[in-house]
Structures are given as structure tokens and as C-alpha cells.
């Protein structure tokens, strides 16, 4: 059973499925982490090295997925919706990198450890998350 099938079967994607009924067009099987109401759900998500994580915006507002440079494991590549190379570049360029309602962003993790990230416009509201990558 793959991650998305497991999440759907265990009910983790129930909120996403409901949101999909109201017009986003995204089904919970299309993403791993949901973005809505100024939060990532789940806030922490675990994968293995080489796995791709997909974030899906089921909310009505745009969001970003932006790594904290200081919150990445040593040797990990930087990631941000919009393809930016640094946190400063992502922050200064927003709304480039915005993920509109009904859209997704994906990233493949190649380095083990905790990868902390946030949403640029909703960081002050506490929209932060962590991807835990295991060997």
C-alpha cells in the first residue's frame, strides 16, 4: 500500500476530501500535505529519502511552500515553490511562488533529517511545517 492510499484509508485526508467537494478539484489522493485556513495538515509528515511530497492547496487563498534555510539538514538542497535558490529570494519575490487554490507543489527529498518550512503570507499566523526524511 502506498502512502497516499494509506492516508486515505486512515482518514487523514478526510478534510481534504471534503474540501475537494467544494470546488478545489483536488482529491486527497493527489497530495500528501494539505494547505488551508493558514495551516499545513499534517503539520509534520514523514517520508523516506527519495520520496516526493506533494502539497495541495484546498483553501480559498494562495499559499507558498518555503524552506527555512536554517531549518534544513546539513547538505540538503533548498526548496521553495517558485523554484527559488534562497529563503531571501523567495521572500523578496513573493507573490511569485504562490500556489493558487486547487493547485499543487511537489518536491523530492534526497537528504535525511528534518526539513522545516513555512507559508510566506501566513507565517505570522503560524503556518509552518516539517518534513521528516528517514533513511
pLDDT given at position 121: 98
Write out pLDDT tens, residues 34-67. 999 999 999 999 999 999 999 999 999 999 999 9
What CATH number is given to the structural domain containing 98? 2.60.40.420
pLDDT given at position 24: 65
* pTM (2 d.p.): 0.83
pLDDT given at position 28: 82
Query: How far, in Å, CA of 53 to CA of 35, rounded?
Result: 13
For 75, 80, 92, 113, the CA distances from 110, given in Å and listed in that order, are 10, 15, 26, 10
Residues of the chain with pLDDT under 70: 1-24
- What does 43-86 look like in DSSP terms, one character per residue? SEEEEETTPEEEEEE-SSS-B--EE-GGGS-TTPPP-BTT--SS
Q: Which three cell numbers stand for residue 118?
A: 513555512
pLDDT given at position 12: 41
Range of the domain at 69: 3-134
Q: What is the mean pLDDT of the chain?
A: 87
Q: Name, in order, each residue with C-beta under 8 angstroms of 21's C-beta and a sequence gap of 6 or more.
A: none
Q: Which three cell numbers stand for residue 87?
A: 529563503
> Based on the structure, what is the number of domains in the chain?
1
Amino acid at each position: 500500500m502506498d502512502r497516499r492510499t494509506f492516508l486515505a484509508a486512515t482518514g487523514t485526508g478526510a478534510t481534504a476530501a471534503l474540501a475537494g467537494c467544494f470546488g478545489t478539484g483536488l482529491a486527497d489522493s493527489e497530495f500528501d500535505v494539505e494547505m488551508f485556513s493558514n495551516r499545513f495538515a499534517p503539520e509534520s509528515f514523514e517520508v523516506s529519502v527519495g520520496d516526493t511530497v506533494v502539497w495541495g492547496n484546498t483553501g480559498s487563498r494562495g499559499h507558498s511552500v518555503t524552506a527555512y534555510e536554517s531549518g534544513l539538514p546539513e547538505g540538503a538542497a533548498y526548496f521553495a515553490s517558485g523554484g527559488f535558490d534562497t529563503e531571501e529570494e523567495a521572500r523578496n519575490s513573493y507573490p511569485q511562488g504562490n500556489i493558487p487554490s486547487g493547485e499543487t507543489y511537489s518536491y523530492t527529498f534526497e537528504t535525511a533529517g528534518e526539513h522545516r518550512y513555512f507559508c510566506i503570507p501566513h507565517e505570522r499566523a503560524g503556518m509552518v511545517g516539517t518534513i521528516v526524511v528517514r533513511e
